[in-house]
A = this chain, B = another copy of it.
Amino acid sequence: MNVRTLCLGVLSSGEASGYAIKKEIEEGLFSHFIDASYGSIYPALTQLAGEGLVTVRAEEQSGKPDKKVYAITPKGVDTLARSISVIPGRDKYKSEFLFQMLLQEYVTPATMLAAIDKQLTDLLADLARIGECKCAEHPHAGARFVADYGKAVLTAAVSVLNDKKAELLRQATPQAAE
């Protein structure tokens, strides 16, 4: 899936600027399973407008550059619907963290601990972001499902990490607690 389809997806629940789309991707439910930078969003939006899949309206603002508010057209909805009606490709999961954990014989215990703490922080942040989405009021029908899926997966990961961390600490300080 490309950034164009992603933009259509975000716009399907209401008009937004490129900046706002980026925020939605970063802070909304999308953040769990998608990434996109300005460098890909802005060109995609321009392209979509050129093809009539979205409309643009410039909103004047004092000081700041004009805000360009994009809205999806019926043709855009159609394209979106067709794009997501094919059986999706495999999920892609890349983890430097697990690579490091697998090769832990080359890493000091201190680094291991720091890496696990960082991973825990990331997972918990993701979990919190999902928790903040009020699914009942969410513009998208599948919000509840996606939130449940994310929560289940992240919670499972956190649990394993906490176990592993406790084990590491036990090895490091056989008598005293941290």
Contacts and interface: CB of A to CB of B under 8 A. Distances in A.
B140 A103 contact: yes
Nearest to A8: B103
A40 interface: no
Interface string A82-124: 0011011111111111111111111110010011001100100
Contact of A98 (B6, B32, B111): B32
A111 B142 CA distance: 14
Interface of A: 1, 5-6, 9, 12, 29-30, 32-35, 77, 80-81, 84-85, 87-108, 111, 114-115, 118-119, 122, 140-143, 145-146, 148-150, 152-153, 155-157, 159-161, 164
A92 B103 CA distance: 19
B152 A159 contact: yes
A34 B153 CA distance: 18
Given A152-B159, A156-B155, A156-B156, A88 B92 contact: no
